Amino acid sequence: MTTSHYIAGRWVEGQGSDCISVNDPALGQPFAELMAASIAQVDQAVTAARGALPAWKNTSASERAAYLRGFAEQLGQRREALITLQMRNNGKPRHEAEIDLDDAIATFGYYAELAEQLPSKNRDVPLAAPGFSARTRLEPVGVVGLIVPWNFPLVTSAWKLAPALAAGCTVVLKPSEVTPLIEQAYGQIADALGLPAGVLNIVNGKAETGAALSNHNGLDKLSFTGSNSVGSQVMRSASAQCRPVTLELGGKSAIVVFDDCDVGQAVEWIVAGITWNAGQMCSATSRLLVQDGIADALLPRLQVALEQLRVGNPLTEEVEMGPLTSQAQWLKVAGYFATAREEGLHCLAGGKALDRDGWFVSPTLYADVPKDSRLWTEEIFGPVLCARRFATEGQAIAEANDSRFGLVATVCSADLERAERVADALEVGHVWINSVQAVFVETSWGGTKGSGIGRELGPWGLSAYQSVKHVTRCLG
Ligand code: NAD
C-alpha cells in the first residue's frame, strides 16, 4: 500500500473508498495498491492551491524559472527509476520510456526560459486616441485543475505543470488511476526543491476523484487530456461554472503515402506511427491512405514488418512493442478484432491477442477497409492499422479530412511542394511531412474538430494559463 497524495506540501494516505491496483501489464499482475483520495481530500487540495496562489503569483518570474530548472534537473537525477517504472507500469519499451523522460525534462527547461521572458511581455499599448495611456499585464489564470490519462504520464503532466507553474498558477494534478505512481515523482521533486506548500498538489483516484476535481467551484480553469466521453463531461462542469477549459482528446489520424515514396522508408514511418506505445497514442496514425501506384508494393512489405515486430515484456526482453497498458484497453482492442471479423474485414497481419500471460496483442493491419467500418472511423487506441487506397491528391485530402477528429496527420512524398500543399489542406492541429510523431516543445500540440479545444506546448501552452489585463490611464 502506497501513500500517494500530495496535499498542501504533505504526503497523506488516501481516505477514499476506491482501492487502486497498479499493474504490470506484461504479466497481467498487480505490483502495488493505493487508496484513492476522498472528495474531502480533493477539496483540501484545491483549498491548499487557493491558499498558495497569492504568494506564488507574486514570486518573480526568475524565481519560478529556477524552480522549473530544478524540476528538469531532478527528473534527470531520477532517470533510471522513472524509466523502469514506465516500463513496468505502462509496458513501454526502454527507448520509448527514455524519450518520454527526456521530453518531460525538455518541457520544464523550455518553460523556465519562457518564464524568464515574462517581464518583457508586459507592454505599453499605443493608442490612436489622445489623452490616455494603456499597458498590458499577463496574469496567471489562478488555481488550475489538471486531469491526465495513462498513456504518456510523465509527458502529459509536464506539458501542463510546467507552463502552469511558469505562468504563476497553483495546481491540483489528478493522474490516471492506471499509472498513479509515475507522477508522484513531481511531488517528490516539489519536496526536494522546497516548492512552497500548496503550489503543487497531487490527488489520485478514479472517475469519482476526477469528477470531484472538475466539478469543484474553487478552480479557475481546468485542463483535461483524455477520452472524448469524459472530456464532454468535464466541459459540462466547466460550462456550469462558466470557466475556461482546455481539452486534449482523441484522434483517428491519417498517414498519406504518395507513390513517389521509397517503400522501405514509408513502411518504417507507417509502423512507427501505429506501434509506438503499442498504438496507445491520441496521435496514432491509424488510417493509412496509400496511393494506387505504390499500394501493391507497400502492403506486403508492411505486413511482413508488422509480423516481424518484436513484441514482449520490456523488462525482460529486447522488444520493439510492449503490451497494452491495461486489461480494459486489451479487452477494448479485442472487441475491435471481433468487430472486424463480423464486418468481414480483410486482415493482412495480426487481428488477435497473443497467446501468453499479460495484455498483449499482435500488430494488426486491415486492408481495403470500407469508409463506414467502425474500425475506420473510431479511435481504437491499440496497434491496429486500417488501410485504403486512393488515386488522386484531392481524394487523399478528402478522405483524410472525412473524420470527426482532427488531431494530426503524416504526409509522405518525395514531392515537397505537394506535401506542403496537402499539409495546408488537412484539417488537423499538427502535420508531419516525411517524419513521424516528431513532437518538439517549441511547436504546438492540440486538435481541431472533435480532438479538442486549445493548444499545449510552445508559447500557446503558456498562454493557456494566462489572463490578459489592460490598465488604461487618463493622462489629463
Ligand atoms: P479517460 O478519459 O478515461 O481518463 C482520463 C482521465 O480522466 C483519468 O485521469 C481519469 O481518471 C479521469 N476521469 C475519468 N472519469 C472522469 C470524470 N467523470 N470526471 C473527471 N475526470 C474523469 O482517458 P484514458 O483512457 O485515460 O486515456 C485515453 C484517451 O486519452 C484517448 O481517447 C486518447 O486519445 C486521449 N489522449 C489525448 C491526448 C491529446 O493530447 N489529445 C493525449 C493522450 C491521450
Give the pLDDT confidence score for residue 249 in this predicted structure.
98
Task: Report d(CA 50, CA 43) in Å as an integer.
Answer: 10
Distance 148 CA to ligand 1 centre (A): 6
Protein residue with its CA nearest to atom 13 in ligand 1: 207
Give the pLDDT confidence score for residue 120 in this predicted structure.
87
Protein residue with its CA nearest to atom 19 in ligand 1: 211
Task: Report d(CA 92, CA 151) in Å as an integer.
Answer: 9
- Atom index in ligand 1 nearest the CA of residue 205 equals 11
Task: Report d(CA 412, CA 410) in Å as an integer.
Answer: 7
Protein residue with its CA nearest to atom 15 in ligand 1: 207
Distance 196 CA to ligand 1 centre (A): 29
Give the residue extent of every domain in the chain.
5-249+451-474, 254-441
Distance 204 CA to ligand 1 centre (A): 14
Task: Report d(CA 274, CA 431) in Å as an integer.
Answer: 16
- Ligand 1: which of 157, 176, 443 to mutate, judged by most atoms within 8 Å of the beta carbon? 176
Cell, residue 310: 518484436
Give the pLDDT confidence score for residue 92 in this predicted structure.
98
Query: Contact, 448 vs 422, CB < 8 A?
Result: no
- Ligand 1: which of 39, 46, 147 to mutate, judged by most atoms within 8 Å of the beta carbon? 147
Q: Which fold has domain 254-441?
A: Aldehyde Dehydrogenase; Chain A, domain 2 (3.40.309)
pLDDT-flagged residues of the chain (< 70): 1-2
Task: Report d(CA 430, CA 406) in Å as an integer.
Answer: 9
Give the pLDDT confidence score for residue 440 in this predicted structure.
97
Give the pLDDT confidence score for residue 476 in this predicted structure.
84
* CA atoms 185, 187, 189, 191: torsion sign: negative
How are strands ordered across the β-sheet holding 287-291? 346-349, 364-367, 384-390, 287-291, 254-257, 408-412, 430-433
In whole angstroms, how large is the CA radius of gyration of the chain?
Answer: 23
Strands 452-453 and 245-248: antiparallel
Give the pLDDT confidence score for residue 2 in this predicted structure.
61
Q: Which fold has domain 5-249+451-474?
A: Aldehyde Dehydrogenase; Chain A, domain 1 (3.40.605)
Cβ burial of 119 (10 Å; 0-12, 13-18, 19+) is exposed
Neighbouring C-beta atoms of residue 100, cutoff 10 Å: 23
Give the pLDDT confidence score for residue 4 in this predicted structure.
85
Would you name the residues annotated as active-site residues?
248, 282
Protein residue with its CA nearest to atom 9 in ligand 1: 176
